Amino acid sequence: MNMRLRLKADGRIVELRNGQEFPVQPAGQGAPGETAALEAAPLAVRDLRRRACLTQMEFAAKLGVPVETIRNWEQGKRAPRGPARALLAVIAHAPDTVFQALAKV
């Protein structure tokens, strides 16, 4: 049986079956908690933004990213990676401090 795979722009690999995409997880990755954390990412980003009482546009401006990025994160189309993921983790613990520091940049 042949598998049809597609490399997505964000680095994910998906299998194409019956016109639908299914995530393919590389061997040796995906600790049990890791998958749950990634699935919760859209809700986590939205929750962080709402706790800060910011619109998507305001949140994007404070982080220095396009508003489309925030929308994609919140809708689960993409997940924050690398520095963005680290920044969001710090915002979760000390939002006022982070936003003050970012305002000075």
Residue 62 lies in a domain: yes
Residue type, 64: G
Q: How far is CA 71 from CA 25, 41, 46, 67, in A?
A: 24, 12, 9, 6
pLDDT score recorded for residue 56: 96
pLDDT score recorded for residue 21: 85
pLDDT score recorded for residue 7: 72
Give the chain's domain count: 1
Q: What is the pLDDT along the chain (105 residues), one digit of tens a residue?
A: 566 777 776 667 778 888 888 887 654 444 444 434 444 466 789 999 999 999 999 999 999 999 999 999 999 999 998 888 888 888 888 888 888 888 887
Q: What is the pTM of this model?
A: 0.60
pLDDT score recorded for residue 41: 65
pLDDT score recorded for residue 65: 93
Residue 31 lies in a domain: no
pLDDT score recorded for residue 74: 93
Range of the domain at 47: 41-105
Q: What share of the chain is helix, strand, coil (3-state, %, to 5)?
A: 55, 15, 30
Residue 30 lies in a domain: no
Q: What's 19's DSSP letter?
A: T
Buried b (16+ CB within 10 A) or exposed e, 45-72: bbebbeeeebebeebbebbeeeeebbeb
What CATH number has the domain bearing residue 103?
Answer: 1.10.260.40
